[in-house]
Amino acid sequence: MSEVSPIGAGAPAIDWARADAEVVEIAATLIGIDTTNPGDGTGPGERAAAEYVVSLLAEVGVAADIVGPTPDRTSVLARIHGHDRHRPGLAVHGHLDVVPAHAPDWQVPPFSGAVVDGILWGRGAVDMKGQVAMILAVIRAHIRAGITCPRDLVLAFFADEEAGMVHGSRWVTEHHPEHFAGVTEAIGEVGGFSHSLSGGQRLYLIATAEKGISWLRLIAQGRAGHGAMLNDENAVLRLAAAVDRVGRAEFPIRVHPSVMSLLSAVAEVSGTDFDPADLGPTVALLGSLAPMVGASLRNTAQPTGLTAGYKVNVVPGQAYAEVDGRYLPGERTEFLARIDELLGEHVRREFICDDIAVESPVAAGIVTSMVEAIGAVDPQARVVPYLLSGGTDNKALSRLGIHGYGFLPLRLPAELDFLRMFHAVDERVPVASLQFGMRALERFLRIA
Ligand SMILES: [Zn+2]
């Protein structure tokens, strides 16, 4: 087994020129494989992307398994043994599916994977084929250079992250938990990216917690009848009133420890006062991240859909709405009780998706390794924890007792609004951001 190069003693024998070219080629090829996941079962599936990933691993001698509930909803799993048998395994994961793209809205064809002026364009460039390519390019470079990491690495590339994870990480962890034997921690998407404050200070945000998901269908019950008659049990009106109550409800502020450390760090690097009793001014300093961080201070319930009626002169017997509910770690029961109160007696709810919140230790060796890895590549970095207001495959892994973190590093230009690139028209990422990310990830895997 080859020796691990000590940190700070110069880069190990990695062919960075080759890795820099590969990360772009792999990302562009993955973007070119349409893995649109509309969530209604009509997409092309992830099979072609999974087979491509398997071929990339096979080229460097890593055997990988393709698993999934059906031949086209496939995830890829592989294990690379570490050299320290006393250390627990580490899962490194991404997802292969993407949300739909409406091509006429785009400046470039969304599945082209075009590189223009150093920017990689296409659906999945940031969410998250670019980072899947980073993982693969780093692993290939490690193996070619004869570098072995201390921990067993379990690589997982999941299907179906964008539509509730049912055919991806949830299925895999339920049917093939053996792949994660001995794994205690995981890294995945939506963390490790940089965010520049207006004064130029560069934060790197690591997701150490995730809100839980309560996607709800509301069903209002009423009395069907002729639209020309009096009707005091109108389902449309009952639904509209309930949606209004839910959408306008103010949920109390609860500052999770990860959010507290994020905001106190933001105040500190900005040189402003930090008042835990009045967080608004500190949240505002985060600029484009403020809507996400604001949402991490409380439970939220956003009405997102309405369906009712089939003819203008008919009062329907039922009316439906959809609500995207997100609750803080530990607050599921309280959140749903409040929603029920707001719905009132004629409106009931069903789950479209019911998934757990995630909370991983901030004071952990793995976080120290993240700070060190990013700091080595960007000495101006200030690494901070945060609470992701969305959800990732870390939820499914946490059911196996694995502590998940959002950490796939990207150094981004100050003007790039990273979170707005998710699911966006003209989704794109600078090639240099991926190349930075590879260097931070490469170092992290050697020291984690
Ligand atoms: Zn994603």
pLDDT tens figures, 312-334: 999 999 999 999 999 999 999 99
pLDDT tens digits for 238-274?
999 999 999 999 999 999 999 999 999 999 999 999 9
Contact 389, 298 (CB under 8 A): no
Region 79-102 average pLDDT: 97
What digits encode the pLDDT tens for the residues 105-152? Answer: 999 999 999 999 999 999 999 999 999 999 999 999 999 999 999 999
* Residues 6+ positions from 269 with CB-CB distance below 8 Å: 197, 199, 201, 203, 382
Q: How far is the CA of 409 from the centre of ligand 1 (A)?
A: 14
Higher pLDDT, 128 or 164: 128
- Expressed in angstroms and rounded, the spacing between residue 188 Cα and the centre of ligand 1 is 9
Predicted confidence at residue 375, as pLDDT, reads: 96
CA of 393 to the centre of ligand 1 (A): 9
Ligand 1 centre to CA of 314 (Å) is: 42
Res 7: pLDDT:
41
CA atoms within 13 A on the CB side of 317: 1
All residues at 6 or more sequence positions from 98 whose CB lies less than 8 Å from its CB, including other chains: 35, 36, 37, 123, 124, 127, 129, 162
Whole-angstrom distance, CA of residue 26 vs CA of residue 316:
52
Residue 26 CA to ligand 1 center (angstroms) comes to: 17
Per-residue pLDDT, averaged over 80-106, amounts to 97
How many Å lie between the centroid of ligand 1 and the Cα of residue 238? 36
pLDDT-derived band of residue 41, with 50, 70 and 90 as boundaries? confident
Confidence of residue 95 (pLDDT cuts 50, 70, 90): very high
In the reported structure, the alpha carbon of residue 59 is separated from the centroid of ligand 1 by a whole-number distance in angstroms of 26
* Percent of residues, the chain, with pLDDT higher than 90: 92
Distance 345 CA to ligand 1 centre (A): 37
| Ligand 1 center from residue 37 Cα (angstroms) | 12
Residues 6+ apart with CB under 8 A from 330: 357, 359
Q: How far is the CA of 190 from the centre of ligand 1 (A)?
A: 7
- In this predicted structure, the answer to whether residue 8 has a pLDDT above a threshold of 70 is no
Confidence of residue 12 (pLDDT cuts 50, 70, 90): low
Residue type, 218: L
1 pLDDT more than 70:
no
CA of 97 to the centre of ligand 1 (A): 8
Distance 94 CA to ligand 1 centre (A): 8
How close is the Cα of 161 to the center of ligand 1, in Å? 7
How far away, in angstroms, is 189 Cα from ligand 1 center? Answer: 6
Return the pLDDT at 44.
Answer: 96
Backbone angles phi, psi at 215, to 5 degrees: -85, 120
- The arithmetic mean of pLDDT across residues 215-242, rounded, is 97
Q: Residue 394 C-alpha to ligand 1 middle, in angstroms? A: 11
Helices 431-447 + 129-145 axis angle, to 10: 50
pLDDT of residue 418: 84
- Banded model confidence at residue 416, pLDDT cuts 50, 70, 90: confident
Residue 109 alpha carbon to ligand 1 centre in Å = 20
Residues, Cβ < 5 Å to ion ligand 1: 127-128, 189
Distance from Cα 389 to the centre of ligand 1, integer Å: 13
Domains of the chain: 16-196+390-447 (3.40.630.10), 209-355 (3.30.70.360)
Q: What is the pLDDT of residue 417?
A: 84
Ligand 1 center–CA 95 separation, angstroms: 7
Bridge-based pairing of strands 314-315 and 225-226 is: antiparallel
Say if residue 186's pLDDT is above 70. yes
Which pLDDT does position 50 carry in this prediction? Answer: 98
Mean local confidence (pLDDT), 364-371: 97
Ligand 1 center–CA 128 separation, angstroms: 5
Cα of 231 vs centre of ligand 1, distance in Å, is 46
Q: Are the C-beta atoms of residues 191 and 207 closer than 8 Å to each other?
A: yes
170-193 mean pLDDT? 97
Q: Which residue has the higher pLDDT, 8 or 297?
A: 297
Q: Is 250 exposed, middle or buried (0-12, 13-18, 19+ CB in 10 A)?
A: exposed
Q: What is the pTM of this model?
A: 0.92
pLDDT at residue 32 is higher than 80? yes
Instruction: Using the mean position of ligand 1's atoms as its centre, give its distance from the Cα of residue 392 in Å.
Output: 7
